[in-house]
Amino acid sequence: MKEAGFPLGILLLFWVSYVTDFSLILLIKGGALSGTDTYQSLVNKTFGFPGFLLLSVLQFLYPFIVDPENLFIDRHVIIVISTVAFNLPLSLYRDIARLGKISLISTVLTTLIVGIVMARVISLGPYIPKTEDAWVFAKSNAIQAVGVMSFAFICHHNCFLVYGSLEEPTVAKWSRVIHVSILVSVFISVLFATCGYLTFTGFTQGDLFENYCRNDDLVTFGRFCYGVTVILTYPIECFVTREVIANVFFGGNLSTIVHITVTLVIVTAATLVSLLTDCLGIVLELNGVLCAAPLIFIIPSACYLKLSEEPRMHSDKIMSFVMLLIGAVVMVVGFVMAVTRPQDCTHGQEMFYCFPNNFSLVSHFQLTTQLPIFNISILQ
């Protein structure tokens, strides 16, 4: 919302969700047309080994650089402990269907986080000054916003895994699942983005949790829930990176020893990356424009355009062509803007409004009676 402008950001969020819905169904249709059952085999049959290699790199990089960010005590200690105790054991599963209950827990925790953000827009929002450009319709960083949104919605890299886990999978059943999933996702995303932006407007950080004050116990609980959701989401992403390695180097099959070894290498390497990274905004932007945009916009559209025998003016082909062009623009322009105009990141430091001397609205409120309890001790 901050990067795009609030009204345009809302419109872009719905647009990206629609494109995600369309392209996920397009992928399964492409698989049916080509007689393939994985994203890699679909691209391999459509564009040969160069396409297969490019997709493999993108599929590997996107989930690999999803960064498990934590803001409790020392982040390095927490990341290592959570990786050894939770991420690694869960990542060793072979059947993605076994992560169904774990994904449900993650969804429930996400709902709690949204509730916390909604509560704070009411209790904290009125006491934070609004920036001058808070309500402009559009901003020049809109393409960066599309990259972040693409990052948020992409699940193309594991859609064939999920499709295969359905009982009696069909395109019609898959379409129903996708419609419901995207509808719920965009609803949560709109609530989260709107409440977060209404609270902090132009002060919004690349990682929203950096905006809240350290002694806010409710938000600290939200940070804990977020850390758990990342831990529970990580194994699904590990499935994808491991499948890519299995398909590229081992013909799709891994023995038990190789399975464990590859998992250990992936988890260890990803942990090392996360230990070196403390700004979530640049991760979201670069991953969104370099990996998510091609996986959502470009590759599904290109595969369908080449495989489909529908007339050129068929609605699916027109939409695919438009998606391909937009994806190319988002990828190139978004990368340049992400590098030259990165999002703000406080690197864990307190925001100015968490200190009484810098809080510009203190004199206008009766702090002891009107401010939420968590902020009284800071602002008095």
Domain tally, the chain: 2
Question: Does residue 120 fall inside a structural domain?
Answer: yes
Same domain, 52 and 102: yes
Asked, for residue 328, whether it belongs to a domain, the answer is yes
Whether 166 and 30 share a structural domain: yes
**146-186: per-residue pLDDT in tens?**
988 988 888 887 788 788 888 888 999 999 999 999 999 99
Do 57 and 116 fall within a single domain?
Answer: yes
* Residue 123 shares a structural domain with residue 193: yes
CB atoms within 10 A of CB 105: 12
pLDDT for residue 254: 87
Summarised one tens digit per residue, pLDDT across range 196-224 is 999 999 998 878 888 999 889 999 999 99
Structural domain includes residue 69: yes
* CATH code for the domain of 204: 1.20.1740.10
Same structural domain for residues 192 and 325? yes
- Regarding whether 325 and 251 lie in a shared domain, the answer is yes
* Residue 199 within a domain: yes
Position 356 confidence tier, pLDDT thresholds 50, 70, 90: low
Tell me, yes or no, whether 360 and 323 share the same domain: no
> Is residue 242 in a domain?
yes
- Residue 63: pLDDT band with limits 50, 70, 90: low
CB 239 within 8 Å of CB 64: no
Q: Is residue 192 part of a domain?
A: yes
CA distance 253 to 256: 10
Range of the domain at 73: 6-349
Residue 264 inside a domain? The answer is: yes
**Residues 27 and 53 placed together within one structural domain of the fold:** yes
pLDDT-derived band at 360, boundaries 50, 70, 90: very low
- Rounded CA separation 164/162 (Å): 5
* Residue 379 and residue 237 share a domain: no
Residue 1 lies in a domain: no
User: What are the helix (H) ranges across the chain?
Assistant: 6-34, 39-64, 75-82, 88-91, 100-123, 142-153, 159-165, 171-200, 217-249, 256-276, 280-287, 293, 299-307, 315-340, 367-370, 373-379
Name the packing angle between helices 171-200 and 6-34 (round to 10°).
160
CA 284 to CA 152: how far, in whole Å? 8
| Cα 79 to Cα 84: distance, rounded to the nearest angstrom | 9
Q: What is the pLDDT of residue 372?
A: 41
pLDDT of residue 66: 55
CA 338 to chain centre: 16
Same domain, 112 and 129: yes
Closest CA to 90 of 224, 233, 227, 225: 233
Question: Is 261 found in the same domain as 178?
Answer: yes
Same domain, 253 and 373: no
Distant-in-sequence, close-in-space partners of 139: CB < 8 Å, separation ≥ 6: 3, 4, 5, 8, 133
Q: How far apart are CA 288 and CA 279, in angstroms?
A: 15
Query: How far apart are alpha carbons 40 and 45 in whole angstroms?
Result: 9
Task: Write out the H or E segment, with its range, that includes residue 66.
Answer: none
* pLDDT at residue 27 tops 80: yes
pLDDT in tens, 221-249: 999 998 888 888 888 888 888 888 888 88
